[in-house]
Structure 1
Amino acid sequence: MSIANLTRSETAARSAAVTVRAYRVELDVTDAPDETEAGFLTTTTVEFDATATETWLDFLGLEVRSVIVNGQFVDVEYDGARIPLHGLRRSNTVVVSAVGRYSRSGEGLHRFRDPVDGATYLYTQYEPSDARRVFACFEQPDMKAPFTFSVTAPSGWEVASNRPAAIVEDDGDRQSVEFSPTLPISTYITAIVAGPYHRVESEWRRGDLDVPLGVLCRASLARYLDADTIFEVTRQGLDFFAENFDYPYPWGKYDQVFVPEYNLGAMENPGCVTFTEAYVFRGAATAAQYEGRANTILHEMAHMWFGDLVTMVWWDDLWLKESFADYMGALASAEATEWTDAWVAFANRRKAWAYSQDQLPTTHPIVADIVDLEAAKLNFDGITYAKGASVLKQLVAYVGRDAFFEGSRRYFRAHAFGNTTLGDLLSELSEASGRDLATWAHAWLRTTGMSTLTLERGAGGYEIVQTDPRPHRIAVGLYDFDDSGALVRRDRVELDLGNERTPVDLPEAPLRLLNDGDLTYAKVRLDAGSLDTVERSLDRVVDPLARGLIWSALWNATRDGELSPERYLAMAQVFAPSETNTALMAAVLANAGYAVAHYLPDAARDEWRGRWLESCRAALWDAQPGSGGQLAWARAVASAAAVDGRFAPQIRALLDGTGPAPDGLPLDPDLRWALWTALAATGHADAPDLAAELGRDDTASGRTAHLRALTARPLPEVKGEAWRAALEDPGLSNDQLDAVIGGFRAGERRDLIAPYDDAYFAAIRDVWATRSIEIARRIVLGLFPAADSLDAVDAWLTSNADAPGALRRLVIEQRDHLARDLRVRALGVNDV
């Protein structure tokens, strides 16, 4: 086991013997602008009670300089991950002075230099276990305590944390900021942000509660920050949760900080939420992008209660916060904001993630068995988030909305600032609803996989057939054409399923849609007659949620080899251009591109690359000028043009302004880079071309995009250098590594990258042993060979049975994706 790993059993023993009373953490980041300085000074004072004479503190850093135990300096014992403590009393105070390492991987205290103005920005990211990269601590979620942070930083910097500043001293060169103590929280949700951030302020009031609001981003992005829109969603969310949770927002202030090179969408640090700055739109953005940002804002806000106020004991119950936040983000979006169709994106995109994850051999119950931190890191997945949220949506339908929220309110009051397990939540929900939820919990939280629902017609009428039977409450929607030719629901039948076959009395209808309204978590199939109707008239289905469920059914059938990829692509060609919901359109375009690359035999793939590119280009020119649909099609053109260069001259003319352009198309920097990368990947752009584009956009995003485009060029020496950089250059940041890997794979040029297949399998164990888990995960996933057989990966799995479990999980999952590709491809191009 890696020295940085921690097991569930040892942390449980530690928390049983140690009770933390308070932390004081002092950080000195004054020298952060000097990139030759690798580290920062960090001093932790922790007060705790103990029933054992020995324990340890966790720390991952450059050096531990001194350890003081109850007023006495002791010999420093440090193995690179743990600081043993001996001779403990019933009540103890330990002071650790150390040097932490600035991060370039997004783990711990990340340091970023903005190429636009040379400014340095810092932020922390800890989940699940990287607070120990910044200060010595008991790194586990059930050892909560109040934290007092004190940060010394350059004068003129914005310095933020979970709580407001209490004391600020500034001599003109440096400032010392001490923050008010937090309420009891876990280490992984503490936060520090420091740098010349641009800040916009507002407030939210409800009754006697006055919460200061802040929105922050890099100074060079300030002109793009739509703070008013973000504040509007924030206030709507706080109103929604205040009304439904009936527990006052407890964290004092609410800052939202958009930070560079972020590994996540966002993180729920109480009072100081951090987001990827991809949500600060530098150019045009679709309605789906704004909706997605709103959903993320509300997801993180829900965590202020689910996760921050009440926290799981260990990562087995990660779902206690993530499933709830995913569900609440969609619910609040639909009911409190302008995004009233939020459940459409949830049904078609979030659940697609869950369906894919739940079919892998490494799938796990929603309540998972997480033996150590490496396993925890990989469980931030489609099961914990999207399947859990889907199951909660079903639970709300099962117990009733009022009972669900009453149970949640009881849960908050009973366990505020504490830690819980599944039983604690079920107890409150059972009491509020009057239902025994043990059977429901076993069926949905402690099992794996999903049911597939099919409508069959026999001599006695219709039956709903389900594989892997579970209890479901579902609806069957019956859709018919109205006088205008639109397909609308004329009837709806609700029923409970529990057995393999359930009779259902259904009148005839052109379209019979199982799981109408998306009440349960299950894959559904369209019966033959409904599929024929959809194939002719999908664009006539008025309800966007129904369309989303149909697109989901079509895609799942394609992935499972029951619908020809070409048939799916033909429907995407016909119906995607008229799709009015941009979230659905984006999903269909992404799925179509994936189907071309992964599910078609070689000959058909070559043909469809051109056909799909031509379809995307035609739809782009036909799209409404300035619309989100036009932007989505332009991005699809860039993606398709990366593997087919037939329109390279026209794309180049569009970029240099010498050729025609679709009316109203915003050629913003991100779209320009996508098109230049497509040209580079097909050999139609060289280094001087890309350097000229960098001159137009010499920003952080521009430099990362430039690196990706350079690496995309189809030259053996370029691919060789990219391979070397990805595996051997520790100076690459997380975003730069992604750019190198993305460029290496751009263009799907197996002729150029297949020679590295053997090197991949020879390298990954060393990568896992020597790189941080975040960086190692990106390498293992990003460079996995898209081979034509499973032989190499099977040989590695056989000969590496003793590899770390988290590494084997990643390889097994990638093997399964490849096996699916090969299986669907082998079915050929005939209709299925």
Structure 2
Amino acid sequence: MRFNQFTYLIVLLMFFSCKSNPVEITLGVSKELAEYRFSTYSDIHYELHFELPEEKEEDIFATSLIKVTLKDSSTPLILDFKANDTHIENLIVNNEASTYDYIQEHIIIPSEFLIEGENKISFQFKAGKQSLNRNKDYMYTLLVPDRARTLFPCFDQPDLKAKYILSLDMPEKWEAIAGEYATQKETTEGRKLLVFGETAPISTYLFSFVAGKFKKEEYDDGKHKFTMLHLVDKEKIDKNKDDIFKLHVNAIDWIENYTTIPLPFHKLDFALLPPFQYGGMEHIGAIQYRSSSLILDENAGDTEKLRRAQLISHEVAHMWFGDLVTMKWFDDVWLKEVFANFIAAKAVEPSYPEINHNVQFYVSHQYRAYPVDRSAGTHPIQQKLDNLNLAGTLYGAIIYSKAPVVMAQLEEIIGADALQTSLQNYLKKYAFSNATFDDLINVIVETTDKDIKPWADQWVKKAGMPKYKLSIDEGNLLIKTEDVGWSQIITIDNNTVNINSANTVAPLNNNKFPLDQSAKSYGYFEFDAGLQKHLIENTASYSDTEAMSVYSNLWENFIHKNIDIETYLPFVLERLKVEDNSLLKKMLFGQFKEIYWYYLSKSERINITKKEFSIFKRLLKESESNTLKTFYLKVLISLYHTKEEFPFLEPYITQKKTTPTISDANRIALFMKLRMEKLATSRDMERTVAENLSSDYYRSYLTYITPSTSPDYIERDAYFEDIKNVKNRGNEPWVENGLGYLNHPLQASTSIKYLEATLNLLPEIQKTGDIFFPFGYLKNSIGKRTEKSVIKKVHQYLKHNNLDDKLEAKILQNLDPVIRRNQFTEIL
């Protein structure tokens, strides 16, 4: 080909352009950039120093020294920093003042300042604020999945693990924890300097520190040593701290025994934070928990205690699964979560022999996964991800709840011992490194000599769930399906059955329980009329595990419009009164509330209240345990109230001491409900409720949430407008609760006008919020609606807005209940 002079110039410019930047520079961290850096950058070290001011609004100034080994120094070095280029000062590269470009959230250092081998980059900077959660008296970092780059310049991808040395210059009265033990260097002029030791290699999203006016509790039994920071009053912490420490000890010991690998990191401290975005976060050496998840009140029952134990075991399990071995890219983020959930369920079992762990597993997993997996917004467990700035949209019930069921099925297929050995080999092979799902499967195949890859690909890389049709014929259970690829093992009448063909026959001896007894089946099991009748009539004679299967699968049949409401609602109400398993009572309560508020008219609700209120009052009075009394009180709170019920409920908001004792959260929930019903709207009542709360945290929450139930629609409008300002969305669980009240059926007629603005705000919610917020935001807005018009408006929005497919899926997941409610009845 002959080039003219102009063509030659274009080619030359293209060549130098490619040499200038090895990959296209885009917002976020693209997979292309990550793959390039992984092939070129290695042996990374960060030395970070932050000056923490006492005042919340002051800037945080910092310094950084980054060491990185470059395989090729002919192209620019690319750092990630989602802040502002004016935040960087005095950039020194290899002892020489350097220039840099700031393009699309990246700091780009020219190749002329770089060398092959180790490079040293130092600078001063102003810390970014987005993920530095600052309160009046404390702060904490939360950098998952790609938020490290919002705090400090770094290579923000999980497979570029690095070692960290951190120092904090902070007020003298503050306490702090981070990834390693700290040495206090000096105290001058009301300040102190803590220097934390160098960490093991970790991913950027696991770097963290917590600092502030915390109280400190310590534990040391000779083998385990913990520091716990908290803001809890002495009476509550004294009642809980021994259990909290013991649960961490139990989790570590069990997982060390299961994996044969000692705790991979030098220490395990943790902080209890009042407002916290998640239940917990597995930062190296500095786990963060939502305080209310670990501090239980005196009425807490076995299920609440088990939930706390599972949360602690989940976060501790991450020290091995996620922190020691980390996914290579966030498309496999489910990999760390599935093991944390799977291992946590196993780890807590020995400590709670009185609890039916089959029921617990099912309620925590299948029952939570089905609402997403049955929707048009479902997705595979492993999802495609082109850029880390969308990694937050990957999180949800499919990876947290469906994936552990798949792991349980895998254990059934290869055996518990084989899976344990495979996981031990996996952890040892990829320790302090990264691995993919395919790497895991290869280890299992090598360990067991079983080709499970086709089965694993079906369950992990394909969306949706299998569907079956069940019927009883001449003493046999007949299972028919068109989804033959979804092979799974279940237990029928204590016999193992592998559903791997279009038609499966399971013999039933003496017409015994005809459903899965393993708590590990997954899918929609459609019952014919005869099987429905058989199950409803015999539920009282079933074991807890069997009853669980009945309640869940009948609910799925109801949701799929295969059982009418006239049949199912009386069944749920009756079982709600007589069921004695606390987990199953909560399952039934959730079903009842959904039917009561979203499938019935106002007059139908009032009729049920007139009939049932006195019955549940009697059950509350006759119950011997405070836990059961509290449960029935929640049922009474959930009903629609008139002036007739108010005298019974009023003391629970106006009196400090009640029977049963009412928690701050339940007291506020009752008050909000009564306000929506126009039964408790006075300012005097609001002040009385505030006076009866036991903590400043809940008093602040009450102040925040009260306008959402105001009898004045102008005040509610102003509340919704405030949500649009990112500064007012700092406590995301509060925002979700406020949206839930605004969109509650009792206020639905005046809040439908917020729908368009709610949808338009969603991209910003995804951009500025933490990983679970977009789903919670939608669940408490769109997901609370019943109007048919909502379906049309949402589909119009999707048609005219080019959303990322994962964000669109979140919308469809929360639109699904609206669609199903309208399949039963049109509420206009």
Q: Provide the TM-score with structure 1 as the length reference.
A: 0.89
Aligned counterpart in structure 1 of residue 81 of structure 2, from 38, 59, 62: 59
Q: CA RMSD in A?
A: 2.9
Q: Corresponding residue for 2:226?
A: 213
SS of residue in 1 equivalent to 2:698: helix
Q: Corresponding residue for 1:825?
A: 825
Q: Corresponding residue for 2:638?
A: 639
Q: CA deviation at 1:638?
A: 2.2
Q: CA deviation at 1:448?
A: 1.8
> Does the 8 Å CA contact 1:726/1:740 hold for their aligned counterparts?
no
* Alpha-carbon distance in 1 for matches of 2:496, 2:721: 58
> Does the 8 Å CA contact 1:708/1:742 hold for their aligned counterparts?
no
* Alpha-carbon distance in 2 for matches of 1:455, 1:779: 37
Q: Corresponding residue for 1:122?
A: 139
> Does the 8 Å CA contact 2:471/2:527 hold for their aligned counterparts?
no
Aligned counterpart in structure 1 of residue 65 of structure 2, from 25, 35, 45: 45
* Alpha-carbon distance in 2 for matches of 1:646, 1:379: 47
Aligned counterpart in structure 2 of residue 194 of structure 1, from 211, 217, 221: 211
Report the AA paired with residue 472 of structure 1. Q
Q: Corresponding residue for 2:700?
A: 703
Q: Which has the larger displacement, 287-296 or 738-747?
A: 738-747
* Alpha-carbon distance in 1 for matches of 2:306, 2:104: 43
Q: Corresponding residue for 1:83?
A: 107
Q: Which has the larger displacement, 281-290 or 302-311?
A: 281-290
Q: Corresponding residue for 2:56?
A: 35
Q: Corresponding residue for 1:303?
A: 318
* Alpha-carbon distance in 2 for matches of 1:805, 1:358: 16
Indicate whether 1:684 and 2:679 are aligned.
yes
Indicate whether 1:271 and 2:295 are aligned.
no
SS of residue in 1 equivalent to 2:724: helix
> Does the 8 Å CA contact 1:283/1:669 hold for their aligned counterparts?
no
* Alpha-carbon distance in 2 for matches of 1:243, 1:773: 32
Report the AA paired with residue 748 of structure 1. L
* Alpha-carbon distance in 2 for matches of 1:681, 1:571: 29
* Alpha-carbon distance in 2 for matches of 1:767, 1:582: 36
1:318-368: CA deviation from partner (whole Å, max 9, x where unpaired): 122111111111111113445642331220232111112212223222222
SS of residue in 2 equivalent to 1:475: strand
For residues 280-429 of structure 1, the aligned pairs below 5 Å read 280-282=295-297, 284-338=299-353, 340-429=355-444
Gaps spanning 5+ residues in structure 2: where? 1-23
Q: Which has the larger displacement, 143-152 or 711-720?
A: 711-720
* Alpha-carbon distance in 2 for matches of 1:256, 1:265: 13
* Alpha-carbon distance in 2 for matches of 1:307, 1:766: 29
Aligned counterpart in structure 1 of residue 92 of structure 2, from 68, 74, 77: 68
Q: Which has the larger displacement, 607-616 or 140-149?
A: 607-616
* Alpha-carbon distance in 1 for matches of 2:132, 2:44: 25
For residues 270-669 of structure 1, the aligned pairs below 5 Å read 270-279=284-293, 280-282=295-297, 284-338=299-353, 340-458=355-473, 461-469=476-484, 470-477=486-493, 492-509=494-511, 511-525=512-526, 528-529=529-530, 531-541=532-542, 543-600=543-600, 604=604, 607-608=607-608, 616-626=616-626, 628-641=627-640, 646-657=644-655, 664-669=659-664
> Is the alpha carbon distance of 1:242 and 1:774 closer, same or farther for their aligned partners in structure 2, counting shifts above 3 Å?
closer
> Does the 8 Å CA contact 2:177/2:210 hold for their aligned counterparts?
yes
Q: CA deviation at 1:21?
A: 2.3
> Does the 8 Å CA contact 1:224/1:281 hold for their aligned counterparts?
no
> Does the 8 Å CA contact 2:364/2:401 hold for their aligned counterparts?
no
> Does the 8 Å CA contact 1:283/1:670 hold for their aligned counterparts?
no
Q: Corresponding residue for 2:748?
A: 750
* Alpha-carbon distance in 2 for matches of 1:2, 1:377: 21
> Does the 8 Å CA contact 1:202/1:214 hold for their aligned counterparts?
yes
* Alpha-carbon distance in 1 for matches of 2:390, 2:768: 17
Q: Corresponding residue for 1:143?
A: 160
SS of residue in 1 equivalent to 2:371: helix
Q: Which has the larger displacement, 606-615 or 66-75?
A: 606-615
Q: CA deviation at 1:157?
A: 1.5
> Is the alpha carbon distance of 1:600 and 1:452 closer, same or farther for their aligned partners in structure 2, counting shifts above 3 Å?
farther
1:705-746: CA deviation from partner (whole Å, max 9, x where unpaired): 342233212331122111111113624422442343233234
1:132-179: CA deviation from partner (whole Å, max 9, x where unpaired): 222211111000011111111111211110111145322251111111
Indicate whether 1:712 and 2:735 are aligned.
no
* Alpha-carbon distance in 2 for matches of 1:158, 1:267: 19
Q: Corresponding residue for 1:671?
A: 666
* Alpha-carbon distance in 2 for matches of 1:23, 1:233: 33
> Does the 8 Å CA contact 2:88/2:125 hold for their aligned counterparts?
yes
Q: CA deviation at 1:820?
A: 2.0
Q: Which has the larger displacement, 80-89 or 293-302?
A: 80-89
Aligned counterpart in structure 1 of residue 200 of structure 2, from 183, 191, 194: 183
Report the AA paired with residue 358 of structure 2. W
Indicate whether 1:14 and 2:37 are aligned.
yes
> Is the alpha carbon distance of 1:35 and 1:526 closer, same or farther for their aligned partners in structure 2, counting shifts above 3 Å?
same
> Does the 8 Å CA contact 1:514/1:524 hold for their aligned counterparts?
no
> Is the alpha carbon distance of 1:329 and 1:566 closer, same or farther for their aligned partners in structure 2, counting shifts above 3 Å?
farther
* Alpha-carbon distance in 2 for matches of 1:717, 1:194: 40
* Alpha-carbon distance in 2 for matches of 1:125, 1:560: 39
Aligned counterpart in structure 1 of residue 186 of structure 2, from 149, 165, 169: 169
Q: CA deviation at 1:779?
A: 4.4
* Alpha-carbon distance in 2 for matches of 1:320, 1:181: 27
Report the AA paired with residue 231 of structure 2. R
Q: CA deviation at 1:298?
A: 0.7
- Number of residue pairs matched by the alignment: 789
> Does the 8 Å CA contact 2:741/2:747 hold for their aligned counterparts?
no
SS of residue in 2 equivalent to 1:45: strand
Indicate whether 1:730 and 2:766 are aligned.
no
> Is the alpha carbon distance of 1:223 and 1:457 closer, same or farther for their aligned partners in structure 2, counting shifts above 3 Å?
closer
> Is the alpha carbon distance of 1:186 and 1:610 closer, same or farther for their aligned partners in structure 2, counting shifts above 3 Å?
farther
* Alpha-carbon distance in 2 for matches of 1:173, 1:357: 52
> Is the alpha carbon distance of 1:2 and 1:233 closer, same or farther for their aligned partners in structure 2, counting shifts above 3 Å?
farther
Q: CA deviation at 1:211?
A: 3.3
* Alpha-carbon distance in 2 for matches of 1:648, 1:59: 55
> Is the alpha carbon distance of 1:457 and 1:750 closer, same or farther for their aligned partners in structure 2, counting shifts above 3 Å?
same
Report the AA paired with residue 797 of structure 1. L
